[in-house]
Amino acid sequence: MTLTAPPARASEQPRWRRMVPPVAVAGGLAAATLALYLRDPHDRGSWGMCPTAAMGFSCPGCGGLRAVNDLGNLELGAAASSNLLFVLSLPFIAWVFLRWTRGRWTGRRWEPSDRSLAVAGITVGVLMVVFTVVRNLPAGAWLAP
C-alpha cells in the first residue's frame, strides 16, 4: 500500500513553480508581438485572410494584428485606428495579468467572485457585439480596420 501526498496548494509550492504560468504567458505574448513586429500585417496576405473579412464584414478582432504591429512601432493613433476596442481593452488586460501574477508571486491566489466574472463576461460580450455592429454600419465606418 503506497500513500501519496495530496497535491500542494499554490501557497505551498515554491515561488519559481508558481511563477511558471505567468512567465509562460508573458513569453508567448512577447514572441507573438515580436513576430507581428517583424512581419508586418499591414501587407495584404502576410498573415493569411481573415474569414469574416472574406465574408464582407469586420469582426471585433479585425485589425488586431495591425494594432499590435502599430503599438510595437509606438504608433498609438494608428493602433487605435486599426482596432479601437483592442487598444482600449489593453489597460484592463494588463491589470488582470498583473493581479494574477501578483497572486502567484505572493502565494495568495486571486479568485474573483462568480458574480464579478459573470458581469465581466457579459460586459465584454455586449461590448464586442455593439462594436461589431457599429463598425459595420456606415456611421461607424471610421471604426473599420
**6: in domain:** no
pLDDT tens readout for residues 39-76: 999 998 888 888 888 888 899 999 999 999 999 999 99
**120: in domain:** yes
- pTM of the shown model: 0.82
- How distant, in Å, are the alpha carbons of 74, 75, 132 from that of 128? 25, 23, 6
**4: in domain:** no
**1: in domain:** no
**43: in domain:** yes
pLDDT at position 2 = 55
pLDDT at position 11 = 60
pLDDT tens readout for residues 108-141: 988 899 999 999 999 999 999 999 999 999 999 9
**96: in domain:** yes
- Position with higher pLDDT, 8 vs 129: 129
Alpha carbon of residue 26 to chain centroid: 11
For residue 119, the enclosing domain spans 15-143
pLDDT tens readout for residues 18-28: 999 999 999 99
Structural domains of the chain, count? 1
What one-letter code names the amino acid at 22? P
**Is the confidence at residue 7, as pLDDT, over 60?**
no
**67: in domain:** yes
**35: in domain:** yes
The DSSP string of the chain is ----PPPPPGGGS-HHHHTHHHHHHHHHHHHHHHHHHHS-TTSTTBTB--HHHHHT---TTTTHHHHHHHHHTT-HHHHHHH-HHHHHHHHHHHHHHHHHHHHHHHT------HHHHHHHHHHHHHHHHHHHHHHTSGGGGGG--
